[in-house]
Structure 1
Amino acid sequence: MERKQQKLTDERPQHVERVRGLLARDRVAVVDAEHVVPPPPTPAGRARPATAIRVRAVQACDGEQLVDVTARIAGPRAKFVPAAAIERDQAVEQVHQALLHRPLITWSESSLDALRELAGHPDLAHCWARSRYSPPARAHRNHAAELVGTLATSWRGQLDLNWNLVPCLTPGDPGRLLLLLQRIAGDTVTTHDHDDPDRVADNITTAAEPGLATIPPPGLHPPRSTDDDDTPERCAAVGSALDDPAREGQALGGRPVRPRARRDRPRRAR
């Protein structure tokens, strides 16, 4: 466990530098796009198909809102359509006006897919990192979309009992995603700080919100609490009680346990 935590701690400066580079790009926007699914399921218990797509985006430099629009993607007779949903053509025009020719930062592939499903355009940023096609010659660093969900999970570094990374919860809002990225970019933990536990403890970014907690650096685990029950005398008493079942309960702090008499039952004749 500590080796895995040490490895994650060593990789944190790389994540910090990457996020700083993403936020330093010109006119970068933080985007969240999602399908709006009606809450009541069908009588059979299945989830209903999405009736709208909501796109929200803010500027990374100052957090100013660029667009917040809900587009209707269901037919005219469909039910459970959000009241704020507008026609698709109007929503696409607003999205293109706000996001075209901008580098985008989003959480996951599903968010980027929802955005392109609603307002696909050749000049809309594309995630070339997950595409099987190489970027065209005219593509440059300002014409790319970055997915940061995996990066945030690795930076957070929470492990379960099987030493696997616990996925970071989706912020669900571009403003909260920008706040998370700003906290990652402001993390000052570096690899040369590991030799000084006090310095690491001072540099760790703490978060009061769930899903933004940082990893505990190796060597900073709280000392194991000791009480009066873990004395050498008690350990010796417990060890000797293993050989005497009658003293086992008394050694562990309870009442003496009377050993049960073994009854030899006659075997049945076959």
Structure 2
Amino acid sequence: MVFNLTAVRAPAPGEDPSTTHTLTAVAVRRPYPPSPAGAAALFTHLRALNDGPDQEAVRGELIILWLPMAHRIARRFHDRGEAMEDLQQVAALGLVKAIDRFDPTRGAFESYAIPTITGEIRRHFRDRTWALRVPRRIQELRNEVRTAQRELSELPGSHEPTVADVAAHTGLAENDVVAGMEAMASYKTLSLDAELAFDSNGYHLSDTVGRIDAGYDLAIDREAAKKELRQLPERDKAILYMRFFEDMTQSRIAEKLDVSQMHVCRLIARSCARVREAAMESDRAS
């Protein structure tokens, strides 16, 4: 089978920069696995070439040559919820990285490429497929617990594995098993518009989310004002108490203190301004 590999190179010095230079290399797909001697010869030839169409052609042939190995590695991860096409794309990206970084003087290509491709796929699962960002250790626990549950469920006469069963099978502590089970719920998230499975009245997940209690803001404001209120003169504190806690009018307060209603109004305004300014200054300082 023949594959056409197309690449675009930059114009050489003196050439028209508006001209697109398309390079087409024809590579014949060889049987997999390739012979060690043939693969080593291709890598040695690749490293000896400078940037250009010849190098791109040899690099493309190496990619085609080893692509079946990358796809085979991708198939190992087929049962983890990702589409096989996506896994093959990630594996191919790992293969390209391995080809670009491989030193043919340091051994067989497979020994370097397999860990590189596998690591690229694992990194994809770790960084791209989780709905929530969780620590790597928790991700690993999730994978261990998931694998153990599947293996235990496939045993003859098996039942739903318990935490103790999984712990005994994996050698993990029961707390770690519980953490791994909880992490399974973090892999994919539910929409807030999702209907509750146990409810037949059409309630959604968003109906279970709490609302902001305005009383919290009031409590915070009171705490912020307490310190300055304690520092007010006794008469000013008494006036504020009668006005805001006993709900007395300014006229009644004026009669009780034998002062004018206008004077009471000025005292209340002055005390409130003093407390407000102190609270705002404290908030700016924090």
TM range (shorter): under 0.3
Larger Rg: 2
TM-score, with normalisation over the residues of structure 2?
A: 0.20
State TM-score, norm by structure 1: 0.21
